[in-house]
Amino acid sequence: MYPALLPINIAGEWRPGSGEEYASIYPATGEEVARLNAASAADAEEAIERAHAAFLSTDWARRLPHQRAEVLYRVAALIRQRAEMLAQLQRQDNGKPIQETRALVASAAATFQFFGAACETMEDIITPSRGEYVTMSVHEPMGVVAAITPWNSPIASDAQKLAPALAAGNAVILKPAEVTPLLALELARLCEEAGVPRGMISVLPGKGSVIGDVITRHPLVRRVSFTGGTSTGKHIAGIAAQKMMPVSMELGGKSATMVLDDADLDHAVNGVLYGIFSSSGESCIAGSRLFVARGIYDEFMQRLVAGAQALRVGDPADEKTQMGPLITARHRESIERYVELGVSEGGQIRTGGVRPAGSQFERGWFYTPTIIEGLDNQARITREEIFGPVLVAMPFDDEEALVEQANDSIYALAAGVWSRDFKRAWRLGRAVQAGTVWVNTYKQFSISTPFGGWRDSGLGREKGRAGIVQYMEQKSMYWGTNELPLAWANPSH
């Protein structure tokens, strides 16, 4: 599929990076998908400077909103035309099951379509006059902005940053995760084919410690949008504070799922399984802390364990696979250490906790869906983000204690409530501290609805109509309507 050395995109010029050569690996088999040279610090510097020049010299920022929207619509159409190729590439890039990667590709197309529509219907406002002048508030592009995306859902994450940044009129430096570079490069090609001017997009694969640092510190980069680990996010935020640069951060999570005694158990069991084990648990919003009303705990857990054991772990290319491999061998080892820690803390493994047996699993980085109980909310594995298919289940006795435990976390990204009682669900949904709360469902998303976290789960919001505004500067303008000169300068004043 690819040449011997895959080129990267430096402000519209496709060429090998000047950093170290490395391979993109298929997590299901450990085989190489492509080889490429990473971008170097010098490449990043060049990309930023050339992006700034493109921002000034092309007409992209000056196009009328509906004209930029036309290009975004063409990107959406191209993604749909090549959906199966992109889905298969996404499967190879990070090992997600093909059914899931198809959904991610469809999400990326919908994202470009939504922000095209949001772009051409975005309104500036005339504010109420307080004197002899007309006042208005307008928004303008920032210039060069940067998007740093994670490895767990590349094409969807890339689109959620790239589409609004382009809609706003900016040049974009896209830094994909080192281990999943392929979809960002393909998306840049589609954008260029759709009519985004040369130089307005760069894609810089490689180590975040090298490229991300250059991007964040460079004076021409006016904003950084980052999705990834909390410690890295805090590092970026510290640099941004010195530059007085705005940032948006979508960081870690340790989301609580709460099953009340009046919940529909069929819905709740399926929802909890989907919330933690889809994407092999490699999801920031995974419902990794489970609180179940004590009166239904035993029955619920019996059904949940049976459901977890029935999940199909296997080849991501198989249409029936529900859980594919983990992203790397190193990440699987981290998850295994967390499970060992949970057992040492007094937890009991109800199911999973091992690598699956069979020759088909020998080369890839697979792990079984794992449920642990017997721990409280103070155990390390109930407080630290594991980012894998590990669920810790705990009973609760009353709503007051439930809310206290659910909120007792440095993270506040998402939560789930399962109850037939609308008023109870509303009360809990408002009491739990999280950026997103699902009631009687889980892990559902809409590009039209803002998304983000509180506390160590992040800053700012993505998605929604206001998603464009975060990539723009706001300006107030005053138009004088006074008939006489300003009186202050008159000699008789």
Q: What is the mean pLDDT of residues 26-51?
A: 96
Q: What is the mean pLDDT of residues 378-391?
A: 96
**Residue 140, beta-bridge partner list:** 473
CA dist 441 and 274 (Å) reads 10
- Residue 490 pLDDT > 90: no
Q: What is the pLDDT of residues 421-464, one digit of tens each?
A: 999 999 999 999 999 999 999 999 999 999 999 999 999 999 99
> What HEC string does 13-80 produce?
EEECCCCCEEEEEECCCCEEEEEEECCCHHHHHHHHHHHHHHHHHCCHHHCCHHHHHHHHHHHHHHHH
Q: Where are the domains of the chain?
A: 8-251+453-477, 256-439
Q: What is the pLDDT of residues 13-35, one digit of tens each?
A: 999 999 999 999 999 999 999 99
CA dist 457 and 36 (Å) reads 32
- Residue 279 pLDDT > 70: yes
**Where does the pLDDT of residue 3 fall: very low under 50, low under 70, confident under 90, or very high at 90 and above?**
low
CA dist 49 and 115 (Å) reads 26
Residues catalogued as catalytic: 250
**Where does the pLDDT of residue 4 fall: very low under 50, low under 70, confident under 90, or very high at 90 and above?**
confident
Q: Which amino acid is at 375?
A: L
CA dist 374 and 198 (Å) reads 57
CA dist 69 and 81 (Å) reads 18
- The CATH number of 256-439 is 3.40.309.10
- Residue 2 pLDDT > 60: no
CA dist 76 and 86 (Å) reads 13
Rounded to two decimals, the pTM is 0.95
**Where does the pLDDT of residue 491 fall: very low under 50, low under 70, confident under 90, or very high at 90 and above?**
confident
**Where does the pLDDT of residue 493 fall: very low under 50, low under 70, confident under 90, or very high at 90 and above?**
low
Region of poorest pLDDT, from 4-13, 104-113, 197-206, 283-292: 4-13
Position 291 scores a pLDDT of 98
Per the CB < 8 A criterion, the answer to whether 106 and 86 are in contact is: no
Q: What is the mean pLDDT of residues 382-390?
A: 97
Q: What is the mean pLDDT of residues 198-212?
A: 94
Q: Domain 8-251+453-477: give its CATH superfamily.
A: Aldehyde Dehydrogenase; Chain A, domain 1 (3.40.605.10)
Position 354 scores a pLDDT of 97
Q: How many CB atoms lie within 10 A of CB 119?
A: 27
Residues above pLDDT 70, as percent of the chain = 99
Q: What is the mean pLDDT of residues 191-195?
A: 97
For the chain, the average pLDDT equals: 95
Q: What phi, psi does 69 have (nearest 5°)?
A: -60, -40
